[in-house]
Amino acid sequence: MKMKMNNKEQKTAFAARVVNSQDEWLSTEELYELIDKRSVRTNIEKFGSNLSDAFKKGMVHKRRGLNKDGNSRVLYATTRFDVNGAVSDVPVVQTEQKVKRTNQHQLPEVLDVPLGMLLKYVTDVSEDDLMSVLQDLIYSTSTRELRERYPALEDTLFDIVGGDE
């Protein structure tokens, strides 16, 4: 009997369930023949990708070997097998790890932006107009650090270029 995908079952979990239902090493093509194509919208390439993902998640074992026809293929087996092919008595608990997506973006604060970039944005003054001695300092130092080390520098620079704070 062909296997059907359960309701709300992910394709990777389904692919692992197909592999774990068998007691031998099988190729992607052989495993693809075990599924009911009417219940799963997939093709052999996508099913192979699902099998590879299941291997990466530790749900199945994978190795190179010969399929039933004697052709060299990637073979998959249940996690009850160890890598040498012997059946293991240790049960494997399968879990799926889900990542919660958040829409919160962490934007930098204005005080974390170098003062030179703020001056260039606010006043549209080119870098050549600023004193070359201060250029490296104001373009590579955050505003917070400039305020701590040189308290009057920010006011002076804004006065020179004619911008408001």
The series of mean pLDDT values per 10 residues for the chain, 165 residues long, is 86 91 88 86 89 90 83 83 51 57 69 78 71 69 83 79 65
C-alpha separations of 6 from 15, 35, 36, 70, 139 in Å: 11, 12, 12, 33, 58
Q: Supply the pLDDT for residue 53.
A: 92
- d(CA 33, CA 27) in angstroms, rounded, equals 10
What's the farthest any 2 CA atoms get from each other in the chain?
Answer: 83
Which CATH number belongs to the domain containing residue 53 in this structure?
A: 1.10.10.10
Residue 82: inside a domain, yes or no? no
Has residue 93 been placed in a domain? no
Can you give the pLDDT at residue 45?
92
Residue 3 belongs to a domain: no
5 within domain boundaries: no
What amino acid is encoded at 82 in this protein?
A: D
| Domain assignment present for 114 | yes
If asked whether residues 15 and 73 sit together in one domain, one would say yes
The answer to whether residues 159 and 125 touch, using CB atoms and an 8 Å cutoff, is no
pLDDT at 89: 46
Does residue 67 sit in the same domain as residue 19?
Answer: yes
Range of the domain at 153: 110-161
If one counts the domains in the chain, the total is 2
Phi and psi, residue 136, nearest 5°: -65, -40
Identify whether residues 15 and 68 lie together within a single domain.
Answer: yes
> Would you say residue 124 lies in a domain?
yes
Q: Residue type at 4? A: K
Rounded-to-integer distance, Cα 4 and Cα 85, Å? 27
For residue 155 the two structure tokens come to: 């006011």
- In this prediction, residue 97 carries a pLDDT of 62
Looking at residue 82, its pLDDT comes to 56
Are 69 and 116 found together in one domain? no
Shared domain check, 20 and 72? yes
Q: Are 60 and 78 in contact (CB under 8 A)?
A: yes
Closest CA to 5 of 33, 52, 14: 14
